[in-house]
Amino acid sequence: MIYVNGVQFPSGHDMVASLLEHPDLVSASRSFCAIPERKISVTEESVQAKCVYIFQREYATVDPALVEIAGTDEATTCVGMVIRNGRTGMTCVAHLDCPNVVDIGLFQMMSLVADFHDDDSILEVHIVGAFEDSTLQGNRVNGYSFPLCKKIVESLAESKYKFDIKNFQVLKNNTRRDSKGKAYPIFHGLAVETSSGSVFPASFDSSTRCPDDIIRRIRLSVSFENPRWTGRLLETYETQTDRFVITPFTWSQQLVRYASKMRRLPDLDILINSSTSPFAEGPDFVANQKRVWEYLIQHSDWRHVFPSKLARVFERVGNTTWVMTTSDCSNGLQFNLFGASS
């Protein structure tokens, strides 16, 4: 069930349009747009908070006793969603990229957030991302953002849980246009302060999208063809232990050959072939794609990345450093949340 500011929202055929026009959510969108985007970075952060970063198609549930900030970015036609239990403070962040991961993904998100002993509890929801990428072709809307937003709203409405939508910063609420009328997202990311539940626009740099960012990006690529991940969000973070655990997965020589082919393309062709919204991506999109392909070319055998088929486990040392404790731990690799790997 969906609520807006504690009032139940009626179900219907045009729920997305109705939510976009809801006076409270219009006001919330204006307030959100007035918040300066916060860059989570070693050069910008005066306080090095304990942070958990989520990549595309990942989710993580964090305990406010262990984590201060959780967030995601790099979203264009994707959606970042926060679900928070105001009573316990347990907070889940997900990066949803297509309609077919929404139903199971919502179930995954609720596993540690929902209060199964309190049927009257209402969970806070913030939805940020996606933009007006659609074009009308005949009677059919062609685009990625609207079908995803529609599915999210339908799944929330059909759920037995009660969701109070605090932010609906999507589609027209998250669209800016240039002088030629071309649409772009206003925001690509969000973060949540777990103690207060405050959600704000956020961007992360290469030093904060960690640990193990290249391996996690490769896992996203192979997940589309792996049946065990069909319809599911990718699990990476362990809530109770405050660890990242990347379980072993394989990649084929076909993917390595694809990486070699794509790596030689001009940047514009990489954008067009690799993105659902090639002209709305962030400035480091192509560079990140190239890093992934170069890694695959240099590590064509997945068994060298997961020796003895062991998971890659990262534990936090202090507030901002991740240390690998399994697989390549003999190399002494460290991933600093606010600095380059060392």
Q: How far is CA 195 from CA 57, 82, 135, 261, in A?
A: 25, 14, 41, 46
Half-sphere exposure of 121 (CA within 13 A, CB side): 18
Distance CA 270, CA 225 (A): 21
At 119 the pLDDT is 65
Q: What percent of the chain has pLDDT above 90? A: 80
Top mean pLDDT of 78-82, 136-140, 143-147, 158-162 is at 78-82
Residue 281, SS3 per DSSP:
coil
pLDDT bucket at 335, cuts 50 / 70 / 90:
very low
Whether 313 has a pLDDT exceeding 50, the answer reads yes
Whether 195 has a pLDDT exceeding 70, the answer reads yes
Distance CA 48, CA 190 (A): 18
Q: How far is CA 205 from CA 88, 91, 134, 213, 337, in A?
A: 30, 22, 29, 11, 10
Is there a contact between 68 and 49 (Cβ–Cβ < 8 Å)? yes
* Angle, in degrees to the nearest 10, between helices 285-298 and 267-274: 90
Mean pLDDT to the nearest integer, 4-26: 93
Whether 194 has a pLDDT exceeding 60, the answer reads yes
Distance CA 3, CA 164 (A): 4
CA quadruple 93, 96, 99, 103: dihedral positive or negative?
Answer: negative
At 329 the pLDDT is 43
Mean pLDDT to the nearest integer, 36-50: 75
Say if residue 211 is preceded by a cis peptide, omega within 30 of 0: yes
Mean residue pLDDT of the chain comes to 90
**pLDDT digits 0-9 by tens, 146-161:** 999 999 999 999 999 9
**pLDDT digits 0-9 by tens, 164-176:** 999 999 999 999 9
Mean pLDDT to the nearest integer, 20-44: 91
**pLDDT digits 0-9 by tens, 276-294:** 999 999 999 999 999 999 9
Distance CA 106, CA 232 (A): 9
Half-sphere exposure of 117 (CA within 13 A, CB side): 2
At 339 the pLDDT is 33
Domains and CATH numbers, the chain: 2-207 (3.30.1330.200)
Whether 332 has a pLDDT exceeding 70, the answer reads no
Tokens 């997202």 identify what position? Answer: 185
Which comes out higher in pLDDT, residue 227 or 64?
64
DSSP 240: T
- Residue (of 93, 76, 90) closest to 234 by Cα position: 93
Diameter of the chain measured on Cα atoms: 60
**pLDDT digits 0-9 by tens, 87-115:** 999 999 999 999 999 999 999 999 999 87
Q: Strands 190-193 and 312-317, how do they pair? A: unpaired
Whether 139 has a pLDDT exceeding 90, the answer reads no
pLDDT bucket at 17, cuts 50 / 70 / 90:
very high
Distance CA 53, CA 204 (A): 9
Phi, psi dihedral angles at 53 (to 5 degrees): -105, 140
Is there a contact between 149 and 130 (Cβ–Cβ < 8 Å)? yes
pLDDT bucket at 341, cuts 50 / 70 / 90:
very low
Query: Which residues are within 8 A (CB) of 311 and not within 5 positions of it... i.e. 6 or more apart?
Result: 245, 246, 247, 248, 326, 327
Name the helix (H) or strand (E) containing 93. Answer: strand 91-96
Written as six digits, the tokens of 82 are: 């926060």
Whether 315 has a pLDDT exceeding 70, the answer reads yes
At 239 the pLDDT is 97
